Amino acid sequence: MYQKDVTAEEKQELDEALQREIQAAFRTDEIRRSQPAPQDEMRAGMSYFHETIWNGLPKFLRRVDTALKGIGVKERLPHDVPLIQFSSWMGGDRDGNPRVTPDVTRDVCLLARLMAANLYYSQIEDLMFELSMWRCSDELKQRVAILEAQTKKESKHYTEFWKHIPPNEPFRVLLGNMRDKLYNTRERMRQLLANGKSDINLEDTFTEKSQILEPLELCHRSLCETGDKPIADGSLLDFMRQVSCFGLSLVKLDIRQESDRHTDVLDTITNYLGIGSYRDWSEEQRQDWLLSELRGRRPLFGPDMPTTEEVKDVLDTFKVIAELPEDCFGAYIISMATAPSDVLAVELLQRESHIPTPLRVVPLFEKLADLESAPATLSRLFSIDWYLSRINGKQEVMIGYSDSGKDAGRLSAAWQMFKAQEDLVKVAKQYEVRLTMFHGRGGTVGRGGGPTHLAILSQPPDTINGSLRVTIQGEVIEQSFGEEHLCFRTLQRFTAATLEHGMNPPIAPEPEWRDLMDFMAVIATDEYRSIVFKNPRFVEYFRTATPELEYGRMNIGSRPSKRKPSGGIESLRAIPWIFAWTQTRFHLPVWLGLGAALKQALEAGPGNFDTLSRMYDLWPFFRVTIDLVEMVFAKGDPRIAELYDNLLVPEELKPLGEELREKYNETKSHLLKIARHTDILQGNPTLKQRLRLREPVITALNVQQAFTLKKMREQTGQGTQSESPKSTKPASDPVTLNPTTEFAPGLEDTMIITMKGIAAGIQNTG
């Protein structure tokens, strides 16, 4: 629009197009009126592959080729060894989500394969337009001749079919055959989704990634042999890399289930067999029985075994894994893993379900105690000959940032994860196993979030070794992959940080630093738990001082906010836990415990200030930990939290809020002292300015939300008796949009819009 060569007519047309976009945005309801199904989440997530990742990946790999060429490496990256791979939990994460059923998992897998076939079909048509050359290798000529002979024999309409592709265009002949087979592949997936069956023979479709790569590789070889290597290394090479990365399923679906659900299944089986209750057995008894069954061949149960709905759901999930193509799935992740038997249990259930190629089993250690025992768990597994043979020298372990932080506070959780990774690597080296760490990071600092580059560089030495897995949460996927240039930058940061960590690893902490961190972690955990879990007033304060109870009205996702309907903070998921404190700009899970730890560390010895300062200057892990908390303080405002207290919290709970705000200010003071800053974000003026510009708008939304929550709770009998403003006349549009709300017209819509606005302003949800 602002280019000099734009004509007056073109500018007018651009103005009108911009007006249409703005008007369409204003006329679109910004509130999701119903909870999305897992399939809806999958479609939304997969749209990023279609819009940005599909084209962004080959562009990034081409840039890597250019960088390698710049340092004297003549060969391009091999197309059949994907540098980056994508997986998904959408439709596979059934941990505490009853809406993710075996049928949902099947539908999601078929839908992903349909999307992949659509993308491949479109790409093949583009290649057919591009590869018009007549000159080719003898190998390609022979393949085309075979295709012609087969088609003459099988098709009654040979003449009509071939007249569209002249015989002197061999590449188009081969690609045309692929296009027809992709059409069948796409239609078969469509029929299976619609009817559960298809009249298209499996032999007439692509069933493996290698079946697509082989003819593409033939085209590439032919072009190279006939002097057309620049053409071969263009769109054709990009497509070969896309096929190698995405496969026929676009993304591999990880299955996640809670360990206790597997215990229920095995308890049902042992009771059916009349050998006792698996749940009541000791860990040693469980391992002995599991290993004896894994080494044997007898079936454990028949169709007459009585099951509950929950047990049947787990068994049916394994059946779906067995039925679908193996490239649909990635890992089987066990949440709340605590012991070796949790891993062996899944291995046994996979064998019992006759899964042709069992999924790799990944324990997820989440609670502080589980992280502490994780090295011993892995050591025991590696000491089992059967298991060591099963994993073939490779093991993946996932560590959970969200639940560990909710369990012990962020400082203690971060330090325990650091130590656990070090010990896990030592165990893996002892047994000569290649270990891949899977980092279950959330979008916020309280759930392990933060700048990607810094997060990777702050990991312990020797824990990455050229490969790692990380989660990109739905709440921040737009920031990472919303535009093609963002996709490129995200891939660039992951790759650069991984390489830098390997070639220039961070220093190992000195013994003195370790001792001080151990000391502070104990204090931080005690402080955190004394308030969150042991203070009888805390749960009620949390639920009245924050919009936690109203969180579910946003319909953010398909999963319930709690693993179990009843229960307190323990059963609450990390996302609503962090979300609630983020909305009030208090961010309690991030800093609680840190202030007490720093204070006692400074008081414990006169030299500890210098030690902490050296840790901040020289140790990436400690510096990143402190800097991220400082960034959260820049987004926080205890005065806003006080406003919520004054409007929403009963009088008898207000002293607790005052106590917490004192701890907030104390923590902030100690943090600035350690960082040797006179003001928050002193070392990051750019971010400080951006936050300063957004702060007035966010504050206005906070004030509106606090008063809206007060009126909503008063109508349900949960409010306090404080005065609210008199200008509460609702807008007319929300009345029409949400006429069935139990609140006064406009209140619920206002509350939801303020939640979304605050999250957008702070750039975090949960």
What does the pLDDT read at residue 726? Answer: 38
The type of residue at 358 is P
**Whether residue 721 is found in the same domain as residue 591:** yes
CA distance 91 to 108: 6
DSSP assigned state of 649: S
Give the Å distances, CA to CA, from 137 to 149, 226, 384, 678: 19, 7, 53, 71
Burial code (b: 16+ CB inside 10 Å, e: under 16) for 389-422 equals eebeeebbbbbbbbbbbbbbbbbbbbbbbbbbbb
* DSSP class per residue in 584-615: TT--HHHHTTHHHHHHHHHHH-TTHHHHHHHH
The structural domain count of the chain equals 3
What tokens appear for 532 in the block?
């969150």
Query: Residue 377 phi/psi, 5° resolution?
Result: -60, -45
Report whether 470 contacts 86 (CB < 8 A): no
Report whether 508 contacts 517 (CB < 8 A): no
pLDDT means over runs of 10, the chain (766 residues): 78 93 90 81 89 95 94 90 91 89 95 96 95 93 87 54 68 93 95 93 94 97 96 96 96 96 97 96 98 92 92 97 96 96 98 96 93 96 97 94 85 94 96 93 66 83 86 82 92 90 89 97 96 94 92 65 57 80 94 96 93 96 93 94 96 97 97 94 89 94 95 77 39 41 72 90 68
The type of residue at 218 is L
Residue 10: other Cβ atoms inside 10 A? 12
In a domain, 20, yes or no: no
**Whether residue 88 is found in the same domain as residue 164:** yes
Strand extents, DSSP E, 304-440: 329-335, 360-365, 394-400, 434-440
**Whether residue 609 is found in the same domain as residue 692:** yes
CA distance 692 to 678: 17
Residue 555: other Cβ atoms inside 10 A? 13
In a domain, 16, yes or no: no
For residue 363, the SS3 value is: strand
Report whether 456 contacts 408 (CB < 8 A): no
**Whether residue 305 is found in the same domain as residue 269:** yes
What tokens appear for 577 in the block?
């836990």
Instruction: Specify whether 406 is catalytic.
Output: yes
Q: Which of the following is catalytic: 209, 252, 367, 406? A: 406
Length of the chain: 766
Sheet of strand 394-400: strand arrangement: 87-88, 252-258, 329-335, 360-365, 394-400, 434-440, 469-470
Q: Give 257's strand partners.
A: 334
What does the pLDDT read at residue 722? Answer: 43
Query: At CA 494, angle to CA 488 and CA 498, rounded to 5?
Result: 145
In a domain, 32, yes or no: no
**Whether residue 607 is found in the same domain as residue 619:** yes
**Whether residue 163 is found in the same domain as residue 85:** yes
Report whether 691 contacts 634 (CB < 8 A): yes
The type of residue at 361 is V
Query: Residue 93 phi/psi, 5° resolution?
Result: -85, 100
What tokens appear for 388 in the block?
């060591």
**Whether residue 125 is found in the same domain as residue 215:** yes
Query: Residue 262 phi/psi, 5° resolution?
Result: -70, -35
**CATH number of the domain where residue 291 is located:** 3.20.20
Query: Given 503, 531, 566, which residue is the final one in a domain?
Result: 503
For residue 697, the SS3 value is: helix
**Whether residue 91 is found in the same domain as residue 138:** yes
In a domain, 129, yes or no: yes
Helices 608-618 & 594-604 angle (0-180, nearest 10): 130
In a domain, 8, yes or no: no
**From its phi and psi, is residue 444 left (phi > 0), alpha (psi between -120 and 50) or beta?**
beta
**CATH number of the domain where residue 91 is located:** 1.20.1440.90
In a domain, 424, yes or no: yes
Query: Given 249, 281, 299, which residue is the final one in a domain?
Result: 249
CA distance 229 to 227: 6
**Whether residue 79 is found in the same domain as residue 183:** yes
- Owning domain of residue 154: 38-249
DSSP assigned state of 299: -
**Whether residue 402 is found in the same domain as residue 525:** no
In a domain, 223, yes or no: yes
Report whether 398 contacts 363 (CB < 8 A): yes
CA distance 366 to 398: 9
What does the pLDDT read at residue 737? Answer: 42
Give the Å distances, CA to CA, from 23 to 159, 380, 518, 607, 735: 53, 62, 57, 62, 20
Query: Given 200, 234, 249, which residue is the final one in a domain?
Result: 249
The helix or strand, by DSSP H or E, that contains position 256, with its residue range, turns out to be strand 252-258
In a domain, 31, yes or no: no
**Whether residue 487 is found in the same domain as residue 604:** no
CA distance 230 to 202: 36
Tell me which residue has tokens 């394969």: 113
**Whether residue 735 is found in the same domain as residue 683:** yes
For residue 131, the SS3 value is: coil
